[in-house]
Amino acid sequence: MKIVCVESLGIGRETFDALAAHYSALGHVFHYYLDRRENEATLIERMADAEVVVVSNIKLPAPVLSQCPHLRYLSVGFTGLDHIDLGYCQAHGIAVQNAAGYSTTAVSELAVGMMLDLMRGVTALDGTLRQGKSRGAFLGRELRGKTVGIVGTGAIGIATARLLLAFGAKVVAYSRSHRPEVEALGIAYLPLEALLRQSDIVSLHTPLTDATRHLIGIPELALMKPTALLINTARGPVCDINAVANALQNGTIAGAAFDVFEQEPPLPSTHPLLGAPHCLLTPHVAFATEESFAARADIVFAHVDQWLQQQ
């Protein structure tokens, strides 16, 4: 079979050459690319003859997939699959498998790091100092004793909760399904409205589905404390971005941190969060660590090997 990795996945040529030798020994052809191209024409060119494709979070809509008549399996180096046209894949017998778990630690650590940054003013005070100023009347806040609402208790939500408990925070949770390991940590599940009212920090860890799109909008933001913080390392459209920007402008909430947006960065200069006060932004990097990328490569090619063995 022809196996194509359409991007670098953050690993080097030496690793790819070893993979090529591995698949050649098994009677397969392996091609890889060390750059990332997201335009449809290039993707079609790279994937057209492949039976197996490895990709991360590059969008693969039906117009691209329809030009790949031999495609049978997608090994996706990403947790979410909302960038893949799963309906097309299902209709055409293309198996799709994600790389769940590779970035659990990376994302949970950044989520907590964003909380600490906002509460202690790390990024803001760096700018203050560089302008030749002192702290003035600034007073930070501590995580210890704060109530943090975890929205979504999958692996990343649970990992974030464990870190917060180690800081001495009180953690509550909301999820459509209740997990016994969460309750075993002493974490109570609450209705979303109650969580929003009680929490000093709300941290989002849900996948993007029809049910979670704009899960946090004007009504939900209005329920939050005016001193509360909103952290989104999940998916951008889980929040109504305009509603969040307005809530920050109006003082409905005290601050927000976003690593994800309704589109992949770079963002247009008119993006509402760019001009919002007390808003910490990173360009979708929560998953991107040396350790997580190494784990991702192991997972996606282990999945390829398992699928090939089943054929």
Cα–Cα distance, 212 to 308 (Å, whole number): 35
Q: Which residue type, as a one-letter code, is found at position 94?
A: I
Cα–Cα distance, 257 to 189 (Å, whole number): 24
Say which of 284, 290, 296, 303 is annotated catalytic. 284
Say which of 46, 141, 205, 235 is annotated catalytic. 235
Cα–Cα distance, 110 to 113 (Å, whole number): 5
- Beta bridge partners, 281, equal 258
Return the beta strands (E) in the chain as ranges.
Answer: 2-5, 29-32, 52-55, 73-76, 95-97, 147-151, 170-174, 188-189, 201-204, 229-232, 255-258, 279-281
The torsion of the CA quartet 45, 81, 109, 172, rounded to 10 degrees, works out to 170
Cα–Cα distance, 78 to 264 (Å, whole number): 14
Say which of 40, 109, 262, 264 is annotated catalytic. 264
Question: Annotated catalytic, 235?
Answer: yes
Of the chain, the end-to-end C-alpha distance in Å amounts to: 10
Which candidate, 274, 269, 284, 207, places its Cα nearest to that of 244? 274
SS3 content of the chain, % helix, strand, coil (to 5): 40, 15, 45
Q: Which residues are known catalytic residues?
A: 235, 264, 284
